Amino acid sequence: MNSSKNIILNHTEIQHKIRRIAYQIYESNVNETEVILAGVDSKGYILAKKLKSNLDKISDLKITLCKVIIDKKNPQTEIKTSISPKDYSNKSIVLVDDVLNSGSTLIYGVKHFLDVPLKQFKTAVLVNRNHKKYPVKADFKGISLSTSLHEHVEVVLEGKAFEVYLE
């Protein structure tokens, strides 16, 4: 089988998508003083850090980063966060991941945060794939792709050149 990688987004395009998502997050939280960016470990958390950097430049919102540790192969297991529930109670949360595939990571992530009262809950992804197993949507997305179940989206957010591939 020929395994070929097609670049979907290059470094510059990813930077533009992150900036646009940051503006959308700011617009939806313009009346808030603090927003929790809860990034799914590891690439979702890297994306959350990049969103925080952009939000710090464009807004006066207090942005708190939260790392969300989910076993993506078995998301029903206990989910851990780097901040305690009292630190995100009654706040606006954006759950961030790199790719929305089946929706299982996001839906279990959402379920975890619903144990406390929240002001608002949104989701953000860099790549939204249009075939999901669960009824979860990305409120903020960089790009939507109609892909086959056999195709794989790879997001690279390390090093000097960020890229999104379809293989």
- Tens digits of per-residue pLDDT, 5-27? 899 999 999 999 999 999 999 99
Q: Which residues pair with 112 in a beta bridge?
A: none
pLDDT at residue 1, rounded to an integer: 40
Q: Is residue 157 part of a domain?
A: yes
**Could you tell me which of 120, 109, 132 has the C-alpha nearest to residue 25?**
120
State both tokens at 122. Answer: 């949104």
Buried b (16+ CB within 10 A) or exposed e, 115-134: eeeeeebbbbbbbbbeebee
Domain count across the chain: 1
CATH of the domain at 160: 3.40.50.2020
pLDDT at residue 3, rounded to an integer: 54
pLDDT at residue 118, rounded to an integer: 96
pLDDT category of residue 147 using cuts at 50, 70 and 90: confident
What residue type is 141 in one-letter code?
Answer: K
Question: Residue 49 in 3-state DSSP?
Answer: helix
Range of the domain at 130: 6-26+34-166
pLDDT at residue 73, rounded to an integer: 85
CA atoms within 13 A on the CB side of 117: 2
Q: Is residue 154 part of a domain?
A: yes
Span 102-109, mean pLDDT? Answer: 90
Q: Is residue 158 part of a domain?
A: yes
Span 76-101, mean pLDDT? Answer: 95
State both tokens at 51. Answer: 């969103």
Q: What does each C-alpha distance from 149 to 8, 127, 133, 145, 152 come to in angstroms?
A: 17, 15, 11, 12, 8
Q: Is residue 38 part of a domain?
A: yes
Contact indicator for 81, 108 with CB cutoff of 8 Å: no
Q: What is the mean pLDDT of the chain?
A: 93
Strands 163-166 and 6-9: antiparallel
pTM over 0.95: no
Question: Residue 57 in 3-state DSSP?
Answer: helix
pLDDT at residue 70, rounded to an integer: 95
pLDDT category of residue 151 using cuts at 50, 70 and 90: confident
pLDDT at residue 167, rounded to an integer: 87
pLDDT at residue 125, rounded to an integer: 97
Q: Is residue 1 part of a domain?
A: no
pLDDT at residue 150, rounded to an integer: 80
Report the share of the chain in percent with pLDDT over 90: 76
